[in-house]
Amino acid sequence: MLGIVVLLIIDRSHRADVSKLELQLIEEKEAEIQEFFTETLGLLRIQVDPELLEFSSGWERDIPRRIIQEHAAFDEVSIIDLQGKEVIRASRAGEERDLLYVTELPAFKMAAEGEIFIGEVHRSFVGPSLTLAAPIRVEDRVILVVIAEVNIRDVLRSLDASRLGTAGYLLAVDQNGTLLNGKKTGISLNAVDRVRRSLAGQRLNGLEPRD
């Protein structure tokens, strides 16, 4: 009986150590993802000096190119006026196409109202991407909108490269429970209890029976 109790204590202690290492790795990757969004959204939060509007015309036309040069995750950036018409667009691939009206896009609508927009992950020609949008302001007034297509390849590659021991690995899902990395990318894990609970904001440590 004593031997069983000792083994049980050792097993629980080992599980607690493994759980601690797993949570540390997850927290490190969460910090990387947060930094990614801080950097990308930071470039889109543009505050314009009122004097620039007074003494300079066409200042906004260089913004997309500069954003793309600043961060490798940006594949395409557009400046939109408040009527929903693209003023200028730049693409990392150098693609040129007609400027569009994007009045009905949720990204435009939210940014035109002064809010930050973060879209769902989707597949583009460069891989997993998402749409970001933000208002361009003069003081407290929204004067334009910037919309960007941002690839998340490096974020997912960082997760794929992470290992815990010989068999542990990290998987990412979007807000709908769709798997974003690993060998079965694109399948839905929304029916998995642990995934649903994580998406609901619960933090699982692997020590509880349902974890």
pTM for this model (two decimals)? 0.83
Q: Smallest Cα–Cα separation from 147: which of 112, 120, 198?
A: 112
- pLDDT value at residue 132: 97
> DSSP secondary structure string, 154-190?
HHHHHHHH-EETTTEE---B-TT-BB-SSTTTT-B-T
Buried b (16+ CB within 10 A) or exposed e, 166-192: eeeebebbeeebbbbbeeeeeeebeee
> What DSSP designation does 111 have?
H
Q: Using alpha carbons, list the distances in angstroms from residue 207 to 26, 141, 175.
A: 15, 50, 24
- pLDDT value at residue 10: 42
Q: Smallest Cα–Cα separation from 31: which of 127, 119, 162?
A: 162
Q: Are 138 and 48 in contact (CB under 8 A)?
A: yes
Q: Which amino acid is at 190?
A: N
Please say if the pLDDT value at position 148 is more than 60.
yes
- pLDDT value at residue 203: 76
Convert the pLDDT of each residue in 35-90 to its tens digit: 999 999 999 999 999 887 776 778 899 999 999 999 999 999 999 999 999 999 99
Of the pLDDT bands very low, low, confident and very high (cuts 50, 70, 90), residue 209 is: low
Convert the pLDDT of each residue in 188-200 to its tens digit: 888 888 878 887 8
Convert the pLDDT of each residue in 81-128 to its tens digit: 999 999 999 999 887 888 999 999 999 999 999 999 999 888 888 888
Q: Which residue has the tokens 């995934």?
A: 195
The better pLDDT of the pair 140, 177 is held by 140
